[in-house]
Structure 1
Amino acid sequence: MFLRNITIQHDRIASYNVYPFSIPFVKRTDELKIEAPITFFVGENGSGKSTLLEGIADKCEFNTAGGSRNNVYDLHASESSLGDYLRLSWLPKATKGFFFRAESFFHFASYLDSHPEALNAYGGKSLHHQSHGESFFSLFANRFGQKGIYLLDEPEAALSPQRQLSFLRILHDLTKKGQCQFIIATHSPILLGFPNAAIFHFGEESIKKVEYEETNAYAVTRSFLQHRKTMLEELLRDDEEESQE
């Protein structure tokens, strides 16, 4: 465990009417205590989980476009506007780690191709010369492992269900020695099932800690698998059919 507490410095925010301060959780959250080596952020699109993750990455001095402290490349709108308003409490402070974001992974892979000497830390093969899912998994399997904090934004985006299960094994192996901490924003009911992980839900109010079975990812997936035919019939009904009832 490294990162212990995240505090939003409300006294420095001039207005909650502009982004990202207009996101509900920012105004209604004072601090977030991190008590598990693996912490998940969940919530609907736009709820702010990625914004907070990027703010943490900024405070860790990681490239907010994706990467570590040593990966320097430019990407439009990659600077966090929330990081300057966060205070992080450490015990001890982690100076190494990585910020993974699925949406800008292509640019990170291109950066590595321009620095071939760095590819050895990622399996020795260009990430562009692998399938999308293979390149994600190559990063997770080869780059993660040093003592540090790892911030992941939707790591399941290109992973098959089987690969997601394999990724759970990576998380288990890396955290069992107590040298790695993960904070992960995800929609995956598979990843969220990791034993003893902390799950924080970003809703219309403040952030709250929830159990696995309380997450929308679990509830919607479970309902679909149990009532697939009924749900699809209701979802795909024509408007004309509905108006006749």
Structure 2
Amino acid sequence: MFLKKVTLLRDKVSSFQKYPFSIPIVKHLHELTFTKNVTFFVGENGSGKSTLLEAIADKCEFNTAGGNRNNFYDVKASESHLGDYIRLSWLPKVTNGFFLRAESFYQLSLHLDEMDRGAKQPYKSYGGKPLHMQSHGESFMSLFQNRFTGKAIYLLDEPEAALSPARQLVFLRVIHQLMKEKNVQMIIATHSPILLGYPDAEILSFDDNRIHKTEYEQTEHVQLTKYFLQHRDRMLDELFRE
């Protein structure tokens, strides 16, 4: 594990009434400590998990639209508003890694294909086939399986958006192999009950206006999914009742 702590530089913030400092979890943030090699951020949309993950990526000098330190391309609204106000504590510090966000992955895949086009063995890093010529899920998995290596930190924002349930299970195996064979740290923002099931991971909930540790079975994502599967007819009757 490399990244040990994130600290909000509160003395630099002029107002907690302006975005992103008005987000409750940011407003109440002082320090966030990481204790496991795999950490999940969970919470409702708008809770701030993607905002904080993007700020960490920005402070790692990764492209906040997706990529690493060597990926230079522009995507609208990819600039972090929080990165200048946090401090990362490392032991040891690593510069290798990747930031992956589902919403801008298409632009990233085009950029990566363009960078690889002139290589002696084009697209070797992505399974031998251009990313943009693969399906969304295939290109995600090609990147995971061929590009992710050891001694690195990987920041993933809702990777399940491109992955079927079956591919999410395959991705769990990718995570397991990385943890088993390499020196890797992963921080993943997700809504997926499947991904959250990775063993011995730390789950940090961004609900209730604060960041706090929670257990797999206590996450709303798991409880709601389990209830729906067990009581589908009852739940649909309640939803559609006029």
Indicate the residue corresponding to 2:228 in structure 1: 224
Structure 1 residue aligned with 2:82: 82
Partner residue, 2:40: 40
Q: TM-score, normalization: structure 1?
A: 0.94
Aligned to 2:22: 22
RMSD, aligned α-carbons: 1.1
Displacement of 1:56: 0.3
Q: Map 1:1-245 onto structure 2 (within 5 A).
A: 1-115=1-115, 116=117, 117=119, 119-177=123-181, 179-237=183-241, 239=242
What is the deviation of 1:156? 0.6
Secondary structure (helix, strand or coil) at the match of 2:123 reads helix
| Aligned residue pair count | 238
Q: What amino acid does structure 1 have at the position aligned with 2:100?
A: F
Q: Please tell me the residue identity of whatever aligns with 1:74.
A: D
> Which whole-Å CA distance do the structure 1 matches of 2:191 and 2:224 have between them?
11
Quick check: 2:62–2:69 contact (8 Å CA) kept in 1?
A: yes
Deviation per CA, 1:139-171, whole angstroms, max 9, x where unpaired? 111111232000000011111111111100110
Q: Deviations over 1:82-140 (max 9, x none)?
A: 01111111010011000000000010011123222373222221111111111111111
Q: Which deviates more, 178-187 or 120-129?
A: 120-129
Question: TM-score of the superposition, structure 2-length normalised?
Answer: 0.96
Native 8 Å contact 2:149 2:182 kept in 1 = no
Deviations 1:147-203 (A, max 9, x none): 200000001111111111110011011012450100000000000000010000002
Quote the Cα distance in structure 1 between the aligned partners of 2:126 and 2:225. 33
- How far, CA to CA, are the matches of 2:171 and 2:205 in structure 1? 22
Q: Flag structure 2 segments of 5+ consecutive residues without an equivalent.
A: none
User: What CA distance in whole angstroms lies between the structure 2 residues aligned with 1:109 and 1:95?
Assistant: 21
Q: Which amino acid aligns with 2:204?
A: F
Q: Secondary structure at the match of 1:114?
A: helix
Q: 4+ runs of 1 displaced by more than 2 Å?
A: 117-120
Name the counterpart of 1:243: none
- Local SS of the residue matching 1:6: strand
Partners of 2:137 and 2:131 lie apart in 1 by 10
Shift in Å at residue 78 of structure 1? 1.1
Distance change (3 Å), C-alpha of 1:126 and 1:178: closer
Identity across the alignment (%)? 63
How many Å separate the matches in 1 of 2:128 and 2:181? 26
Distance 2:175 2:113 in 1: 27
Paired with 2:52 and 2:123, the residues of 1 have a C-alpha distance of 29
